[in-house]
Structure 1
């Protein structure tokens, strides 16, 4: 939801072409723009409400109702990332509706940073989950001897530190400006070169490099799983669905951010609306994960007959059983 709203007149040499994505003061929307805003506001409200409840439930089940494991650490961290973002989303919904930011500079910086912190931490966690699965299948004995909850926690902490570091530009360049009775929350890069560096950094670290790492891990997994006969492949379906949902939700945003770097050769209305839609789809990713834990690989009617909590616990338990199955297979291989 937190689009990188920019005032290009601060550094563009051509002031006749100005992309000001948040026009302060009274705004006259076209019927199509107004309709789009209404749809996006509705989607974001749904994302916030469902995301808060769903991710809190995942945190509660994995954190207090289940035995702590490496896999539960990954999923708790992913749910925490989504939950924190959903906490900030109502402020952005208010800003989209009113085009006025009454919450101050600190919250302006934090709400904008929440989306990018969620982006980095989520995609890095997906890389960890894929790499962990790959090691479990490819090197089951080594994985059993070296995987531990404490090491997983350390990796997650390092991941969050890296994500926070990469989110710093949003904290630095996000500013507020008063226009009469209206306050604007926007991104002030001052120089177009800074905007280019930040946008490319987000694309490379938040999308391209993780995508390549995940493709490699998934390719190795696919080759290994062909040779193994697993009783349940549901954990791998959950992992695949998490990856697909993340990239489908984030591809539009990164596409329009890259197009925005050459904004003089594109329609400003297209970029403005495209960034809004892309950011909203990115926000949707925050409430998709809990449903994937519950519904992937199961008959929908059967799922409805069970409680949500028990279904999440069952989905996570299958992860543990699969890990144990891999370990037992590795032991038999050692004996033979």
Structure 2
């Protein structure tokens, strides 16, 4: 960066070259192509999960209530990705002011609620595995519905910030949909602080602490049990490790990106934000798979569905379940249904 000073009316000014973000914006434009594949993949898999749950399972059980809400939040979030992808590729917003507010409010609603429902599912595994039978009374349909209602309420409140701050504006003939600070009758400084603390404490520290605690206790309990189901340990480990790898870096980079910084730092954080954002999006795209298709029981139901609608596949599909490798045991199953 080059600078040159000059004096005007006894006041010294410093002239700087504008900070260009073409590099990370170009990277985001190329990576946004993945959003279309994530959207299609998410719709197909989530609809399939809902069909199997509706056809073969009781939707009134605790885990299935949480799973249905996770699937709904995932689909809400994924519904915004095609609009975001078009915006990033065209570098201008073409859907109007109303859609600007709706798309990004829905985007954050699905994104934040998915993180909470994943946390609730891990908490449910904790009560089912660590406390086993004594905790079943607490794992009732009523508590599941109340928990889901609270999640949607908190996630909805977190969307107040993008709903108010997101606006369209025209700059050199190009329309953008970004956060603006020139709102009347709204203390935008307080609103930004509110959004900062909500994100760091509610959507970063809280899930991190809860999932870490539940994970450690679950692993200790499984290893201490006579079943010693290492497959359950591996599956839970994959879920937790991927959550940390995909969710935590994105939140940290986004928080750093919103703070004060010089041009070079802003460019570096811009690249990091594009990469970590896609990692987080990918995790929430495939997260319902972890709680369904990894289980032998769900795989069997999926095979039944395939054979019913594609009878020609019947001779290639086996329904035998090896009891030694079934994930759904009374103490360690990931989709325990009572």
Verify the 8 A CA contact 1:238 1:293 in the aligned structure 2. Answer: no
| Alignment partners' CA distance in 1, 2:265 and 2:228 | 53
Number of corresponding residues: 295
2:121 corresponds to 1:129: yes
SS in 2 for 1:289: helix
For residue 121 of structure 1, report the CA deviation from its aligned partner.
1.3
- SS at structure 1 position matched to 2:170: strand
**1:199–1:257 contact (8 Å) kept in structure 2:** no
Per-residue Cα deviation, 1:133-183 (whole angstroms, up to 9, x for no partner): 222233323322332223312221221111111222111111110235421
The equivalent residue for 2:94 is 102
Matches within 5 A, 1:107-186: 107-179=99-171, 181-186=173-178
1:5-84 to structure 2, matched below 5 A, reads: 29=22, 34=26, 36-37=27-28, 39-68=30-59, 69-84=61-76
Distance 1:122 1:19, change over 3 A: farther
Q: How many angstroms apart in 2 are the aligned matches of 1:134 and 1:192?
A: 40
Q: Which residue of 2 aligns with 1:209?
A: 206
Matched, 1:195 2:192: yes
Aligned to 1:264: 262
Residues 228-265 of structure 1: per-residue CA shift (max 9 Å, x gap): 13385655654443333333222332222232213237
**Aligned-pair CA distance for 1:219:** 1.6
**TM-score calculated relative to the size of structure 2:** 0.74
Using a 3 Å threshold, how does the CA distance of structure 1 residues 143 and 309 change in structure 2: closer, same or farther?
Answer: farther
Alpha carbons 1:121, 1:163 under 8 Å: kept: yes
Match of 1:221 in 2: 218
Distance 1:96-1:230 versus aligned 2 partners, 3 A rule: same
Q: CA RMSD in A?
A: 3.6
Structure 1: gaps (5+ residues)? 1-13, 22-28, 327-336
Q: Which residue of 2 aligns with 1:287?
A: 285
- 8 Å CA contact retained: 1:55, 1:287: no
Q: CA 1:113 to 1:16, structure 2 compared with 1: closer, same or farther past 3 Å?
A: farther
Conserved? CA contact 1:175–1:187, under 8 Å: yes
Mapped partners of 2:181, 2:233: distance in 1: 42
Contact 1:256–1:275 (CA under 8 A) maintained in structure 2? yes
Q: Identify, as 1 or 2, the structure richer in helix.
A: 1
Q: Give TM-score, length-normalised by structure 1.
A: 0.74
| Equivalent in the alignment of 2:311 | none
Q: Secondary structure at the match of 1:102?
A: coil
Unaligned runs of 5+ in 2: 1-13, 183-187, 307-316
Q: Does 1:250 align with 2:247?
A: yes
CA 1:111–1:325: 2 relative to 1, 3 Å:
closer
Indicate the larger mover: 206-215 or 219-228.
219-228
Q: Is the 8 A contact 1:63 1:76 kept in 2?
A: no
Residues 21-62 of structure 1: per-residue CA shift (max 9 Å, x gap):
7xxxxxxx56x864x245402222211111121122122222
